[in-house]
Amino acid sequence: MKKLLVFLFLFVIPFNVFGMDTATSSIVIDIDSGRVLYENNADEKRLIASITKIMTCIVAIENGDLKKEVKAESEILKMYGTSIYLELNEKMTLIDLLYGLMLRSGNDAAVVIAKEIAGSEDEFVKMMNDKAKELGMTNTTFSNAHGLDEETKNYSTARDMAILSRYAYKNKTYRKIIGTEEYRVKTNNKSYLWYNRMKLLGDYKYCTGGKNGYTPSAGKTLVTTHEKNDLNITIVSLNDPDEYNNHKRLAEFAFDNFNNYDIIDKNDFDLIIDDKSYYIKKSFSYPLTEKEKDNVSVLASIDENIKKGKAGNVKISLNNKVFKKIPIYINVEEKKENFFTKLFS
């Protein structure tokens, strides 16, 4: 992590001059700050195919018992396309089903998971849409848990799927699943050895995980995450005929042009005014280009009449435009009163 001695930020129009982008829609977002580093037609609603399963996975992680053994029932009979080939009445733990969902894109795993979590796929889809609304995915509609689009269709945008990827990546279980290259499972019926279908994992050294998808109507879709030099990014592309090479190019573009800088460190924030000391609860870092890092200003604003709690803000701005406010709190040392002090007071 690089440090700035002179703080800075710039409201830059997201880069959209990247000449080798092969996707109809795409976006690159910094996972930690949420800054858009690049975008191309990022708000067009499109079919998303199996990257749907990112939402299926995170909803299941947050609402299910991962150790519980789940039975595959009649819901698997209607499934087609990519599968982990569950058999009727076969039992598998929920966490194993999630690995099958994400590594092998198992459509049968998706409907078994949905029924386990919500009682039916329809009820599970309601949970998916509720989660999308909670996250601010304003252009997203889920109709199924798997991404097949011949009967029901899932629509989203590159921006919304990046919001979802950014959120899900902060969950340790999700992060472990998508970053797994091979996984072994043994059930009451048989043994499995799964290799991750998302080819960029292992092929590109900075890739930390992701999920691919494809249907004839949606084209190839891909969500990936990458890390280099304290910069964590997620990339989404929709209808992308060269998805893996495109994600490599977009990742290299981000890593070549941006570094993550410490703007304010909570452990190095010393503000004393008239013998009163102040502190902040959270540090703040931001990805910046080499040119941007010379243009930031930071202003601490304090209300000296406040004796307790929030006393002001650190305002980070460029050209008098504030883009980030960090609350400042006053240090209050409580004096411990002994028995006699309390008695006479």
Which positions are catalytic?
50, 53, 105
Write out the two tokens for 254.
């981000």
Q: Cα 236 to the chain's mean position, in Å?
A: 11
CB 326, CB 314: distance < 8 Å: yes
Q: Facing residues of 123 across strands?
A: none
For the chain, the farthest-separated pair of C-alpha atoms sits apart, in whole angstroms, at 83
Q: Outline where the chain has alpha helix (H).
A: 53-63, 94-103, 107-118, 121-135, 158-169, 172-178, 200-203, 243-257, 339-344
- Coil, strand, or helix at residue 215? strand
**222-234 exposure pattern, b = at least 16 Cβ within 10 A, e = fewer:** bbbbbebeebbbb
CB 292, CB 9: distance < 8 Å: yes
Write out the two tokens for 323.
């883009």
